């Protein structure tokens, strides 16, 4: 177990290194290469917010002494997103330690009409967690206390700045797991996960955060603290107000604490990595896995040949089976009885081989091997960065049309991209489509958008399955949401943040129909 | 299978009979015995809504020809709740067939400032689904079409008036189950389940409706149709507006259609019915069942000796084991492999017997026996009605204090009640506490309230775990929700229903702090 643990830490730390420890190294690089968002989008106008003054800074210094960052080199990492596609020009980062400090900061900013961007681990992929202009960054980095864990009910209560991986380690000691898991777990904050309604690798089994979050504490723009920090699984006393904040991307309030239901830790985990010869076979295997693995099925992922090439060529990872198949499937089972689970998995795989659905495959039950197989899947996002610029899409498409989008985009952008790859959570109808080129190209972008969003809307999909809308996708909201729904969103925004200071230029569209 | 199916239908039909088929029989009875709510609560004032006129009736008749009920005997069942504790004096029931008709009705009522109560199967337990004064009843009875079922993803789309039991039967043909199950399934409507965020027997395994509902179509008071009828499991494009309506008890909009994720139907079900000698043992068994049964645990219910007496004496049911234990536990497992599941269940029970946690017990895997055991648990609510009047409470309490409430209430109301019983979903910290007396007694009520709610609040529980607030419990909302949360609820109400025509006197408190 110890070896595997070390390996897992090593893998997840790749993200930490890129996002945090290596920040110094990247500083000058970031400033040179990432254009300011205000320059890349010259038609975008700054809202009528106040400009930061020295007096504001001295007020902040009084509210949170020693935790007001202003040095421009210190601010680079907070101004730039992980994908290096968005850069703001904030002059100050505030690092409150508790809810009261957040409340005092927001109250002041609201009265002064200073715009604010809440920031967690800054691992978002749609430009939602960095300033667009000069918004003040309020970071949850120092709000990282675990408050309680009830072992019988499985309820964890913690502050918003806790790193997801640390929470996983903590609850594992009580034989529990976090209900979500994702590649960025080494640096993403739980508050950011909640604000973006993060999906990830375990959604198929443990459902969405709308189900597993029991309570939230949130601070509104006015500084008012909204206490919905229930730890109860059932509480039907009025509207479920906390749901509004899950997935609101910091535009309705700043989440400060959460109470989360943690499932029992499985005693046994098995992972199968399979090669097959068409996407139809991927779907056949999925349908059969639901029947045969039933309650122990915990992940069903796929990768196409071009995604596998990223792992092999850019990351130098050795592919666990022959690397020439057009499609690969990763199936995970998690259960309470290793013998039963292996019987189920072996029976299922034997059937799949006999039917010719699976051509080749490997199964792992040793933690080290399991984690290696997962790393091939989880590190694709990192591997893509080696190509230069990455055009990143995260969509839901009904399974009947799922892979058609990759083929359509590949055909349309031929000659204008290094590669177009498809991979993701088939089990949730969620496709990660990524295209790369040596550097950002407006021609390529114009080929991709709005073509891709139109295609998704035409097939009744979602233009953002789990990444959110953030800055980059907000004006495509009508491709997935009705005008009546967006009108209600705007009404909620107006009620909860009448001055619009919270994360402006994000989520809600520029023009309301 | 056929016999068991017949038995199951028979059991669930008890509710239908009481609520629907026998309506004629009960008519005069209801009028004689159930006092008007306006009489029982003389201090309650009717809101400033318009009174129904003949002109209104002729407009309704044009909008939905032949589906406007006005005969007073026909209206009794719609005016009176299932518990026979609330009775309104509505003069008209409207039965639209589709969303467009609901929209036209609400638009007219909103312009005329006529108050409306949406009604599904009218099986609610807090007076939420019947008029308080003369509100117009809009029934979903005729909106009962199943629209689609995607067998691979498990997504069901249906109208709000579908009866839960019918939906269960329908999806079972595709090897799926509904993610919720409750005693009233023979007559409750899915729209009502969603509007009240119904919990029920499967929540432990399949989670809350906030997780398993993928989409909703709702009509606002203005008549505007809000289309959030997504069928996607992941769709992070803006605030999750549909969540607002789940659990809003018809006060924010009238749900017309829903899209619901249905889990795979288990191949094997086992039910154990166990006797033990203290509530501490019940908790020990629960903790162990989570470890040993893991992913196949699908229900963990308990009944105390007084609840068992209701089944035995009032319903004449034979108790599956010796009827002299102080506590009983019902454990259900559901899984994909009968042999594996039986091995797990037998191993677990052997361990529990060896440790002395369980004194006596029986296990069933035959459908007929399983359904009989379940009926002992599910029919308690019905059995209580034989005592006369039932004071009904449905609370969540952290497990460390869970049964203490039953003991406290029993002591406090001694001599003023026929019995005080405790049973319910231990697995979700959800307790059904019920007291009975031959008829309604204000003395008993004054002993129960606010004592019971204060006790729950003191122990950080919820005063309504799954039944909602409705008419009866709305003024206790502050026992479970913060003032800041209730303020937001009121703001949402004001935005979505500015004239307050939708289900007035329900959910929101009389006085806003």
User: Is 50 exceeded by the pLDDT of residue B14?
Assistant: no
- Give the model confidence (pLDDT) of A39-97 as tens digits: 999 999 999 999 999 999 999 999 999 999 999 899 999 999 998 889 999 999 999 99
Q: Tell whether the model's pLDDT for residue B403 goes beyond 90.
A: yes
B22 pLDDT band, cuts 50/70/90, is very low
**Quick one: tokens of B94?**
């409207």
Backbone angles phi, psi at A114, to 5 degrees: -95, 130
Round the average pLDDT of chain B to a whole number and report it. Answer: 92
**pLDDT tens by residue, B427-437:** 899 999 999 99
Chain A, chain B: beta-carbon pairs less than 8 Å apart: 287
Tens digit of each residue's pLDDT (9 = 90 or more) over B453-505: 999 999 999 999 999 999 999 999 999 999 999 999 999 999 999 999 999 99
Q: ipTM value of the model?
A: 0.91
Interface test with B, best of A231, A488, A496, A512 (most B CBs within 10 A): A488
Across the range B141-153, mean pLDDT stands at 95
Mean pLDDT over B194-200 rounds to 95
Interface test with A, best of B238, B282, B342 (most A CBs within 10 A): B238
What pLDDT score was predicted for residue B237? 96
B18: pLDDT strictly greater than 90? no
| Pair type for strands A136-139 and A93-94 | parallel
Is residue A41 within 8 Å of A474, Cβ to Cβ? no
Q: pLDDT digit string (tens) for A100-110?
A: 999 999 999 99
Contact A153 B429 (CB under 8 A): yes
Question: A341 pLDDT exceeds 70?
Answer: yes
Nearest CA in chain A to B204: A233
Higher pLDDT, B513 or B20: B513
Q: Output the CA–CA distances (angstroms, integers) from residue A313 to A10, A361, A387, in the order listed.
A: 20, 21, 10
Q: Categorise residue A470: left if φ over 0, alpha if ψ from -120 to 50, beta otherwise.
A: left
pLDDT digits (tens, 9 = 90+) for A283-338: 999 999 999 999 999 999 999 999 999 999 999 999 999 999 999 999 999 999 99
pLDDT in tens, A405-451: 999 999 999 999 999 999 999 989 999 999 999 999 999 999 999 99
The whole-number average pLDDT for the span B194-211 is 93
- Whole-angstrom distance, CA of residue B116 vs CA of residue B28: 25
- Across the range B259-270, mean pLDDT stands at 95
A466-496: per-residue pLDDT in tens?
999 999 999 999 999 999 999 999 999 999 9
**A338-354 vs B338-354: helix axis angle to the nearest 10?**
180
What would the mean pLDDT of B148-154 be, rounded to a whole number? Answer: 91
A201 has pLDDT over 90: no
**pLDDT average, residue stretch B6-24:** 32
User: Which pLDDT belongs to residue A202?
Assistant: 85
Contact A207/B203, CB-based, under 8 Å?
no
Q: Is the pLDDT of residue A344 over 50?
A: yes
Q: Is the pLDDT of residue A233 over 90?
A: yes
**Predicted confidence (pLDDT) at residue A3 exceeds the cutoff of 80:** no
379-408 in B: which are within 8 Å (CB) of A? 396, 398-399
For an interface test with B, which of A192, A202, A235 has the most B Cβ atoms less than 10 Å from its Cβ?
A: A235
Write the DSSP assignment of A163-229 as a string of letters: BHHHHHHHHHTTTB--S---GGGGT-BHHHHHHTT---TTHHHH--HHHHEEEEEEE-TTS-EEEE-
Question: What is the pTM assigned to this prediction?
Answer: 0.92
Asked if pLDDT for residue B161 goes beyond 70, the answer is yes
What pLDDT score does B32 carry?
55
For B:268-327, CB contacts with A below 8 A are 283, 286-287, 290-296
Q: Angle, to 10 degrees, between the axis of helix B367-378 and the axis of helix B2-16?
A: 20
């Amino acid at each position: 177990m110890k070896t595997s643990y070390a390996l897992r830490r090593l893998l997840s730390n790749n993200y930490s290194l890129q996002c945090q420890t290596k920040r110094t190294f990247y500083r000058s690089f970031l400033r040179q290469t990432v254009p300011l968002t205000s320059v890349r989008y010259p038609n975008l106008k700054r809202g009528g917010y106040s400009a930061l003054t020295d007096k504001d800074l001295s007020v902040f210094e009084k509210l949170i002494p020693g935790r007001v960052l202003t040095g421009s080199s210190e601010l680079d990492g907070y101004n730039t997103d992980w994908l290096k596609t968005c850069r703001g020009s904030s002059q100050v980062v505030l690092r409150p330690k508790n809810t009261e400090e957040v409340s005092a900061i927001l109250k002041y900013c609201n009265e002064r009409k200073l715009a604010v961007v809440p920031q967690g681990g800054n691992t978002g992929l749609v430009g939602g967690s960095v300033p667009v202009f000069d918004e003040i960054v309020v970071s949850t980095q120092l709000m990282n206390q675990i408050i309680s864990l009830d072992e019988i009910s499985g309820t964890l209560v913690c502050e918003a700045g806790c790193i997801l991986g640390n929470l996983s380690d903590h609850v594992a000691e009580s034989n529990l797991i976090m209900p979500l898991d994702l590649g960025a777990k080494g640096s993403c904050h739980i508050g950011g996960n909640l604000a973006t309604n993060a999906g990830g690798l375990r959604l198929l089994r443990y459902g969405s955060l709308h189900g597993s979050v029991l309570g939230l504490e949130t601070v509104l723009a006015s500084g008012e603290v909204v206490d919905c920090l229930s730890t109860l699984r059932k509480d039907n006393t009025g509207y479920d107000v906390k749901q509004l904040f899950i997935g609101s991307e910091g535009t309705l309030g700043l989440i400060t604490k959460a109470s989360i239901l943690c499932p029992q830790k499985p005693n046994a985990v098995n992972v199968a990595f399979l090669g097959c010869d068409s996407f139809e076979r991927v779907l056949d295997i999925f349908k059969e896995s639901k029947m045969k693995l039933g309650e122990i099925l915990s992940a069903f992922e796929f990768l196409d040949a071009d995604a596998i090439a990223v792992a092999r060529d850019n990351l130098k990872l050795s592919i666990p089976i022959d690397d020439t198949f057009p499609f690969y499937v990763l199936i995970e089972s998690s259960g309470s009885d290793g013998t039963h689970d292996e019987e189920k998995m072996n029976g299922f795989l034997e059937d799949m081989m006999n039917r010719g659905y699976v051509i080749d495959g490997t199964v792992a039950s040793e933690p080290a091997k399991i984690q290696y197989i997962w790393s091939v899947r989880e590190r694709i996002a990192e591997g893509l960065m080696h190509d230069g610029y990455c055009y990143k899409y995260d969509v839901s498409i009904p399974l009947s049309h799922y892979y058609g989008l990759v083929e359509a985009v590949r055909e349309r952008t031929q000659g204008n991209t290094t590669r177009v790859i498809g991979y993701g959570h088939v089990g949730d109808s969620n496709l990660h489509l990524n295209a790369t080129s040596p550097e950002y190209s407006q021609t390529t972008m114009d080929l991709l958008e709005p073509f891709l969003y139109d295609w998704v809307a035409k097939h009744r999909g979602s233009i953002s399955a789990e990444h959110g809308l953030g800055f980059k996708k907000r004006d495509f909201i009508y491709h997935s949401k009705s005008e009546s729904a967006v009108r209600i969103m705007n009404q909620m925004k107006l009620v909860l943040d009448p001055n619009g200071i919270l994360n402006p230029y994000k989520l809600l569209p520029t023009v309301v129909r």
